[in-house]
Chain A
Amino acid sequence: MKLLVPLMFAVSLRAGPYATAEVCKQCHPVEYAAQSASGHARALRPPAATEPEQWAFGAGNQAVTFVSQLNATDYLEHGETWYTATKRFDTTPGHADTRGLRYRLFDPSAGILRCFSCHSTGPLQVDGSGTIQPHELGVRCEDCHGPGAEHAANPTKVSLKKPGEQGGAAMNTACGACHRVQSSAEDGSNLLDPWNSRHQPLLLAASVCFQKSAGKLMCTTCHSPHQALEVRQETYNKACLGCHAAPKHSASVTGRPCAACHMPSVRTNANLAFVNHRIAVYSDGDALSPVTLAKH
């Protein structure tokens, strides 16, 4: 008999004294400027004057969801999210209706704390009135490179992590701490669930490309960590051709980017779509089920 109950946790990048991106900027102005323009840097902000809520989650590339503190023990994730593509408010992803979801601040799964943890950099603090105080808004330098205060004070003697040198699996785990990754080899997440299309490391890990690349294929193969999200398909095509120099196709694919067929867009609701990072061959009518699975 065999019991499969996987639980494994990502390696912590959050220990020791943090600086801020402003400190990093002093020596790394180019990276700072580029990263500041990225969606990561804008992942959490106070609301604009026209937005009545307390916190705005999301850079707005796809959507912005609002969160407010209700009292000393509870937060509200508002039930209406702003969707950029459709330019309208509609039901927040994962919500059944527009009434909003109430989170107890210290619930067992740390629901709201995890939201802030992933959308900010450095340690969170909660004051006596239950107000969450992020160290730095948005996903900035030290989220990937680790606490930087000691490096900033003594750059020649204290080095920071370089995630790109750790290989694909380690990077997938690091990025997956927020974007979600399989918890272990035995993780049972349903890859056919459209909701999981927003969990890119999870699906990438299930790709034969990733599994056979021996650590070569990693998030940064396609996505520059210091730049805004690339939108030109040629850049992604170039990444594919880095391994598949002369791909064979059974039908004409002239003019079609690789991702159109091998990483199709999956719609999670009327307003949101995500690229399926489970790289495979898909039929036109089904963006989730690879047609390349073995038959019995």
Chain B
Amino acid sequence: MLLLAAVALALQPDPAALRKVYEDHVARCERDFGPRDARTAQAARDLGFYMRESGDKKAATTAFAMALAIDQANLGPDARQTLAGELALASVSPPPEAEALFRKALTSRGMDSTLAAPALSALGDLRFAAKDPVGAAAAWRLALQHSEIVNGKDSDPVAKILYNLSQVVDTKEAVALLERARAIAVGNFGPNHPETATCEVNLANALLHAGRLSDAVEHARTGLAAFEASLGPRHPRVSVALTTLARALGGQKGADRKSIADLYRRAVEIDRLSLGDKDPQTLADIRALNALPK
């Protein structure tokens, strides 16, 4: 099943230019307040979050570990701040350490839904990456419960978990989950938005797998039009929508080979421009084009 994750935004300007400001602040707090002061912990935590947002996990790990050590000593292991610090550290740690930190924090008596929802979601991500769909589904189902409490049933974080969960359940449930995610996106963003288009294409793929081809065609067309309008006609997501539509049309009786080939050709053209000639998606779309019956 071909699925698209949620849209991410750029972080600008250059994060390296501001890193020194954060590091100087940590050094100043250490010097002025001492290495075990709560203000020093806060400065280290700020640096950690900034480095995490900047994509530098190594620097973030060092900063989060420093903040956590201070919090553990000052507040105790079950304090909410300490647990939040463990989760922050887990979020930038390699998978084995991250999973251990998540599980430890989740069993603490200080845990609440606000902390548990993202922690369980991240735990599900780790299980999924470890090719453990059962473990991932269990974590994501719990994450869904907590996220509905904290964020509301029609919130964006809930839609994200629904998408995650759809990857590890049977096709029938996946369709239901993605229909709900799509409804949330339409309600929160409107029809012509990249997030909504993503949900449309994801749903089209699930419907394709369920054998509901005409429904898949409808959602793929809707998603394609929304992607083209909101991201531009040469965006890689347009390519994914084009191939989804091509596959849905190709499964129907009396499919028009020429129009399907045109969709694949457009997809390949976009792939080459945006991803390069040797990208796996480019090669897969070329293979699909060449495999069409003559």
Contacts and interface: CB of A to CB of B under 8 A. Distances in A.
A188 B8 contact: yes
B230 A186 contact: no
A186 B237 contact: yes
B15 interface: yes
A124 B16 contact: no
Interface residues of B, number: 60
Contact of A181 (B3, B10, B15): B10
Contacts of B145: none
Nearest to B194: A188
B121 interface: no
B4 interface: yes
Nearest to A107: B46
A188 B7 contact: yes
B46 A12 contact: no
Interface in A80-126: 106-110, 113-114, 117-118, 123-126
B266 interface: yes
B89 interface: no
Interface in A189-217: 189-192, 206, 208, 211
B100 interface: no
A188 B275 contact: no
B12 A293 contact: no
B167 interface: yes
Contacts of A124: 17-18, 21
Contact of A117 (B2, B18, B43, B235): B18
Given A8-B10, A289-B229, A114 B237 contact: no
A189 B1 CA distance: 25
Nearest to B49: A108
B95 to A, nearest CB: 16
Contact of A2 (B15, B55, B231, B281): B281
A6 B167 contact: no
Nearest to A280: B232
Contacts of A8: 10
Interface stretch (A34-42, A159-167, A172-180, A240-248): A172-180
B12 A178 contact: yes
Nearest to A124: B21
B225 interface: yes
B46 A293 contact: no
Contact of B234 (A178, A184, A190, A211): A211
Contacts of B16: 9, 12, 14
Given A177-B14, A183-B9, A7 B2 contact: no
A98 B193 CA distance: 28
B221 interface: yes
14 contacts: A1-B2, A5-B5, A9-B14, A10-B14, A14-B14, A106-B22, A107-B46, A126-B24, A178-B12, A187-B9, A190-B194, A190-B230, A294-B228, A294-B233
When A and B form their complex, which 8 residue pairs have the shortest distance between CB atoms, in order from nearest?
Answer: A188-B7, A183-B10, A108-B49, A106-B46, A206-B232, A185-B274, A177-B13, A14-B17
Given A114-B12, A181-B12, A183-B10, 17 more contacts: A2-B281, A4-B7, A5-B8, A6-B10, A9-B54, A12-B14, A106-B25, A107-B46, A109-B53, A110-B15, A123-B20, A124-B17, A126-B24, A128-B32, A183-B11, A190-B231, A192-B229
